[in-house]
Structure 1
């Protein structure tokens, strides 16, 4: 999954909240430019391994951090903020069979995220097919997007959507949106069958409730 929004809109706090909701026994590896999440300190019962990556130090840079992270057999990888130098290795790491990954991206909206990560990957000069790369990112890296922004003087999560790749284009299918005028959430629940199947496998009760809410909203 990916989180997007301007600086200081609460992306790091939301990442931490999402990790807090994950089962304690799942092995989570975090990679940060500087330690901000502090998961081992705040969640001592969780199975967390934390790495700090320094882009200016080849011995402790992102590539080395990811190499060490993958040796830990993580179920989930949390890359606090994806950057040009480590975009390719992060995308490769996300296709190694983990249950999921989390990263934040500086982009204007959810629609911009797959292209933004593709552009970062293309910067390393290797010959890559941009269309195939964008599809890989949409299906294995972003998957679910959270959009943050300032609403008045408050940091807000304003949108949750699913990335769908169809016809060589990426579509964002809204699950929920925050209606600023009403100060309320609008539950759209426009999930793909792939998403329903995954939710049903991991959380069958929520799947039944969500599908019931979706049917009620269409009546």
Structure 2
């Protein structure tokens, strides 16, 4: 895939070139940090003072940023993670570093050096996330201290030392108006989204990777009334809704000794005991879908979850496959899901644009199977297509808006 390089102005040389950091000074800062008595910036200032160097305020600030990146951040990748609008940083090899700013992949000029240096960076990032990455455990999923999601895989499973994927944690939720302005949502559906939240519909947000499921979910949660308690359950904390009462629960992987794991199903069961007004599952990946469906069927309405799916029509098959991991039969899934879920909001990504493409109503087919009927479609531009029967039922349940 070919793409233009990122504007060099986006890349801070002090963060990208490790040679600009004096190794002796960096070692001194590392020792000071190891004592745990000071932060990175204070450690840099103390190390500079004790070395007898005289630096101006700008140079000192650059050195502090470079040290943070090298010791507690993503090293030469940190400048990309800090760039506004970047959602993903992808390393395919030492000289193949790409970013996504919402309009497709762009190749950068970042050079990580050798394959061995790329591997060293991946191992250090895994350690920052409290995980092991080596020949005996060559793949890792972790969360960095700032919330960034990390996936890395080492040679020989991948070429060029290591392949690294970083997903940036979004710091704020968009409003519905901002989604409309950005082209992610047709204006005529804005009122529907508000109605789904305020009238406590159980909503499933579906779509492929990178289509904006978490972004839309954070927007919906920001519409929840302030006097309601929201409990979110996620594999890695990503949701940042603009809401005053959110309790975040995040799964924990086993440590290097193979113990201490807490999975999503455990967290959903705990969330039910926390007096939630809304239960939110960041992403249905496996057997935890059983707990979510059961929760939504026991009076916990107004809940949300996300699911990987290609279209509204295949959501039933995806739910059946995941629930099958929990030992649920197809009939049990149909009964539970039809009673638990109300609406599916499906997102697509096309030509770099992310948008809400379909709205579906969950129910049962004449044969008693789980089904989702498309009520409306949108191509990302122009007018919306309406399926009269399903749309009329949607308006009857949640309208007017």
Aligned match of 1:50: 248
Match of 2:263 in 1: 61
Contact 1:2 1:146 in 2 (8 A): yes
- Are 2:315 and 2:372, in contact at CA under 8 Å, matched by a contact in 1? no
Residue matched to 1:139: 339
Asked if structure 2 preserves the Cα contact closer than 8 Å seen for 1:173 and 1:191, the reply is no
Q: Determine if contact 1:159/1:176 at 8 Å carries over to the other structure.
A: yes
User: Which protein has the bigger strand share?
Assistant: 1
Select 2:374's aligned residue among 162, 170, 174: 174
Q: With structure 1 as the length reference, what TM-score do the two structures score?
A: 0.77
- Partner residue, 2:207: 5
CA distance in 2, matches of 1:185, 1:196: 15
Aligned pair count reads 193
Question: Which structure 1 segments of 5+ residues have no match?
Answer: 200-206, 210-219
Post-superposition offset of 1:33 = 0.6
SS state at 1:98 partner: coil
Q: Is the aligned partner of 1:84 residue 2:84?
A: no
Q: 1:21 aligns with which of 223, 228, 245?
A: 223
Other structure's SS at 1:136 match: helix
Residue 188 of structure 1: how far off its partner (Å): 4.4
Change (3 A) 1:86 1:58: farther
CA contact (8 A) 1:118 1:137 kept: no
Superposed CA deviations along residues 113-164 of structure 1, whole A, max 9, x for unmatched, are 122122212123x3x43123223213313x2001111132211111111112
Task: Note if contact 2:374-2:387 (Cα within 8 Å) is conserved in structure 1.
Answer: yes
Task: Give the TM-score of the pair, scaled to structure 2.
Answer: 0.44
State the Cα distance separating 1:198 from its structure 2 match.
Answer: 4.4
Off by >6 Å, runs of 4+ in structure 1:
none
- CA apart distance, 1:83: 1.2
Q: Give 5+ residue unaligned stretches, structure 2.
A: 1-202
C-alpha distance in 2, partners of 1:36/1:4? 16
Higher RCO by CA contacts (8 Å cutoff, separation 6 or greater) = 1
Q: Single out whichever of 148-157 and 161-170 deviates more from structure 2.
A: 161-170
Does 85-94 or 158-167 show the bigger shift? 85-94
